[in-house]
Amino acid sequence: MSTQATERLVSLRRGFHRHPEPAWREFYTTHRLVEELRDIGVDELAVGREAYDPDDRMAVPEEESIAEWADRARDRGADEEILERTAGGVTGCVAVLECGDGPAVGLRVDIDGLFIEESTDAAHNPVAEGFRSEIEGTMHACGHDAHMTWGLAAIEAIKASDFAGRLVVFFQPAEEAGGGGHPMAESSYIDDLEYLFAVHVGLDHPTGRVVAGIERPLAMCHVDATIEGTSTHAGKTPNEGDNAMQALGTAIQNAYAIPRHADGMTRVNIGRAESGTASNVIADHAHLEAEARGETTELMEYMKGRLKRTLRSAASMHGCTVDVDVISESPRADSDPELVDHVASVARGVEGVTDVVPTADFGASEDATFLMERVQENGGLASYLIVGTDHPTGHHTPTFDVDERSLRIGADVLTAAIRGVEAAFASTDTAAGGNAFADGGTIADRSGGTIVGRNGGGSPTRPEGDR
């Protein structure tokens, strides 16, 4: 890859890093992605509700918050047409290249940021290099800025290559909330895929290492519960109250007492709880946010069921009522060994890759598993790979950063994996190599293609000026 092409990757990633947006509020991010995809010239581009059914979303925030972030994107110059097509928090997009009658390949990358205040320390590289988050209290602290860069780079490279199939790239919103994978997996864009790649940067793997496929991601669910009781004076008439605070305490204590399962690892956690207004008032309201995880989808369902039962029992014990809402969830889906072998093979031929690890435990949860599961159910193969990066601190911390050398490595590995599937699975040979950007080329070098949506929402074709 040329110096110019590498610098282009760095510039893209830094641009995304400066403008992070949280789940279902990635308006400016979607605007920027559409700008770049139009410049590349894809054959099909579905934005927002054209890409998926809004009713399939999970963990959707309050309308007030969605409107606030839309206004913020507008103030930063987001295209009004894109804001209309993503109105109501229907963000993200799907881009398609039609390159021939060969295999149908998908790539999923996530696009949302986190509610974390980025460090202002002069030693923090985004501060030193001038691309720290411009949105206070929000940052790309998990590398999704790098993931978007890889998605664009792969499209650019595949368009310029000899790939003779179909490439579908899912720029998925709301991964951090566990809410975006499900609607993308329900979209018609995934139906005919034979191969799917998903990718993450870092995860404690150093620059130069590639993990060809994860194993044992945890199935997960997020649960919110609102407890309602009866308020009264704590000193004068405590017998007339139904104490929501007490129900909350019982619920928390008993949730951690849920029996673990003999079939595998299970987890439960109460991450946030609040109740009460004053020391002399019996609380009539309480709220908690919890999660349950399992080594398998079935074990997660076991924990979820026990958690919901525990919450209801605790409320009933203290004369209260409770509303339990499953906000989001994701299944377990493992990488397919055949596709893992292919990724490992091509990664060994990529410049900068010094270590290829066939598989590794993920140890956390990821809603890309919805897409993986759907492709596998349809008879296809899926792999979730990791491209290592030297990051100074852990993910989801104020000083998280990406070693920009990994941008080129990740782009080249993904491109090689996509280009090589036809040869790899048509014979015993695997294709290797690959270059994510043609030397000297940039995204802005290419004209737009026909842009349409086929998920039943929005306008089925883009205006004439976008063709």
For 341-358, the pLDDT digits (tens) are 999 999 999 999 999 999
Best CA proximity match to 194, nearest among 108, 109, 103, 107: 103
CA distance readout (Å), 341 to 175, 348, 359, 410: 27, 11, 9, 17
Task: Average the pLDDT over 29-37 and give the result.
Answer: 99
Mean local confidence (pLDDT), 174-180: 96
**Which pLDDT score is estimated for 310?**
98
Q: Identical fold at 3-217+333-466 and 222-328?
A: no
Residue 322 contacts by C-beta under 8 Å, 6 or more apart in sequence?
225, 226, 227, 228, 247, 311, 312, 314, 315
pLDDT at position 459 is 33
- CATH class of the domain whose range is 222-328: alpha beta
Q: Which residues neighbour 302 within 8 Å (Cβ) at sequence distance 6 or greater?
A: 261, 266, 294
Please tell me the predicted confidence (pLDDT) of residue 426: 80
What are 367-411's pLDDT values in tens digits?
A: 999 999 999 999 999 999 999 999 999 999 999 999 999 999 999
Give the C-alpha separation, 312 to 335, whole Å.
Answer: 37
Between 334 and 428, residue with greater pLDDT: 334
Place of tokens 């899912």: 170
- What tokens does 14 get? 């830094």
Q: Is the pLDDT of residue 222 over 50?
A: yes
Is 140:17 a contact under the CB 8 Å cutoff?
yes
Q: What is the pLDDT of residues 403-412, one digit of tens each?
A: 999 999 999 9
Reported as type and span, the H/E element at residue 3 is: helix 3-18
350 in Cβ contact with 434 (< 8 Å): yes
Helix (H, G, I), strand (E, B) or coil at 442: coil
pLDDT tier at 2 (50, 70, 90 boundaries)? confident
Q: How far apart (Å, rounded) are the C-alpha atoms in residues 244 and 145?
A: 42
Q: Given this model, what pLDDT does residue 363 score?
A: 82
User: In sequence order, what are the residues at sequence separation of 6 or more whose Cβ sits closer than 8 angstroms to the Cβ of residue 105?
Assistant: 165, 166, 167, 168, 193, 194, 195, 196, 197, 418, 421
Q: 3-217+333-466: what fold?
A: Aminopeptidase (3.40.630)
Q: Which pTM does this prediction carry?
A: 0.89
Confidence category of residue 39, pLDDT binned at 50, 70, 90: very high
| Domain spans in the chain, listed from the N-terminal domain onward | 3-217+333-466, 222-328
Residue pair 296/333 in contact by the 8 Å Cβ criterion: no
Q: What integer pLDDT is reported at residue 237 of this predicted model?
A: 96
The SS3 assignment for 7 reads helix
372: left (phi > 0), else alpha (psi -120 to 50), else beta?
A: alpha
Tell me the pLDDT tens digit for each residue of 421-467: 999 998 544 334 444 544 433 333 333 333 344 444 433 333 333 33
The rounded mean pLDDT for the chain is: 92
**d(Cα 33, Cα 263) in Å, to the nearest integer?**
43
- In whole angstroms, what is the distance from residue 40 CA to residue 35 CA? 9
Give the span between the Cα atoms of 56 and 182, in whole angstroms. Answer: 7
Contact of 372 with 107, CB cutoff 8 Å: no
Measured distance CA(79)–CA(148) in Å, rounded: 19
Q: What is the number of other CB atoms lying within 10 angstroms of the CB of residue 23?
A: 27
- What integer pLDDT is reported at residue 60 of this predicted model? 97
Q: How far is CA 199 from the centre of its chain?
A: 10
pLDDT tens figures, 66-76: 999 999 999 99
Measured distance CA(300)–CA(448) in Å, rounded: 45
Stretch 159-167: mean pLDDT:
97
Phi, psi of 149 (to 5 degrees): -60, -45
Give the number of other Cβ atoms within 10 Å of residue 168's Cβ. Answer: 22
Q: What is the pLDDT of residue 456?
A: 43
Average of per-residue pLDDT across 185-191: 97
Q: Output the pLDDT for position 427.
A: 56
Phi-psi region of 443 (alpha: psi -120 to 50; beta: other; left: phi over 0): alpha
pLDDT in tens, 266-323: 999 999 999 999 999 999 999 999 999 999 999 999 999 999 999 999 999 999 999 9
pLDDT number for residue 3: 85
Predicted confidence at residue 42, as pLDDT, reads 98
